[in-house]
Structure 1
């Protein structure tokens, strides 16, 4: 059996297709469990905010069964040390930007497919992140959440085995409503 690192992008997309499911209350449980694990892992660090983001954080919204978590540290945090600690704790590093001090990791992607619990972790210095604006806008405006759901369902049919195209096709919608949320909510996430 090939290891994930040995697979081509096309093989990975076949193994990990876009799957959309009805919202489940277990997503909050998964988030709380992983939040606790992160707080224990970084007990020596100053964690400013841990947030459940993405579609699984919006009650009633169809979502990929993947819990997205935003972990925010103070600016200038020990980026490399945090990266090593997360990888030693079972996270797979996907993207790391040393200049912006950001990284994206995942957990639950196995050579046989998805694990029972799958996570994406977005590590950032404290900031006004669009993910928070978009999440709260969808929570406040259910009609926009339904529009987003319709868009995702149509894109799943077209891009089931092309995660990048699926994500790119949602970008305009996400950016439009993130900007509306910024106009309405101001800088609320800097003091959360």
Structure 2
């Protein structure tokens, strides 16, 4: 199935959607998850984004996450294993039409991936020039590649890498 790349202006409802979904997750898997964060573009006020909520969670044991897959499935999440990132457990929640509603990324507590995600988010929340550039780039790429998610991702990759480098330098300063 070809997914349509949709990037929309920031919507305040994204924060509410995160709060609702994170509360729901913690209610059902609170003994598994140590911390839960809203990450990705929907977590950055003013940022254009694909309307998919990214949730990052920390656990004490990444292997233990696999034993909770049935619980996640009952909550509407499809377990996708590492899905290309070593040490991650990735889950996707879709609506009836197959649109991605939530991406759940679980890592072990204090992993470098957690720091990378939080640094990226917090950096863009406080550095409007880079946030505006990144937001505009995503809108342009979505317009140029409305049915080519791979080209959309590739078009962002150099900017993401550069912003990540700045974000980590800022984080550790």
TM-score (norm 2): 0.87
- The answer on 1:125 being equivalent to 2:108 is yes
In structure 2, stretches of 5+ residues that fail to align are: none
What is the match of residue 103 of structure 1? Answer: 89
Compute the RMSD of aligned alpha carbons. Answer: 2.2
In structure 1, stretches of 5+ residues that fail to align are: 1-11, 188-192
* Rg comparison, structure with higher value: 1
Which whole-Å CA distance do the structure 1 matches of 2:79 and 2:95 have between them? 12
Of the three residues 90, 93, 99, the one matched with 1:114 is 99
Which whole-Å CA distance do the structure 2 matches of 1:186 and 1:77 have between them? 29
Aligned length: 170
What is the match of residue 7 of structure 1? Answer: none
SS at the partner of 2:93?
Answer: strand
Quote how far apart the aligned CAs of 1:71 are. Answer: 1.1
What is the match of residue 53 of structure 2? Answer: 67
Instruction: State whether residues 53 and 69 of structure 1, in contact with CA within 8 Å, keep that contact through their aligned partners in structure 2.
Output: yes
Of the three residues 10, 28, 38, the one matched with 2:25 is 38
Which whole-Å CA distance do the structure 2 matches of 1:62 and 1:90 have between them? 26
Distance 1:151 1:107, change over 3 A: same
Of the three residues 92, 116, 120, the one matched with 2:78 is 92
Instruction: State whether residues 66 and 119 of structure 1, in contact with CA within 8 Å, keep that contact through their aligned partners in structure 2.
Output: yes
Which whole-Å CA distance do the structure 1 matches of 2:62 and 2:22 have between them? 22
SS at the partner of 1:96?
Answer: coil
Which whole-Å CA distance do the structure 2 matches of 1:37 and 1:74 have between them? 20
Quote how far apart the aligned CAs of 1:157 are. Answer: 1.9
What is the match of residue 154 of structure 1? Answer: 140
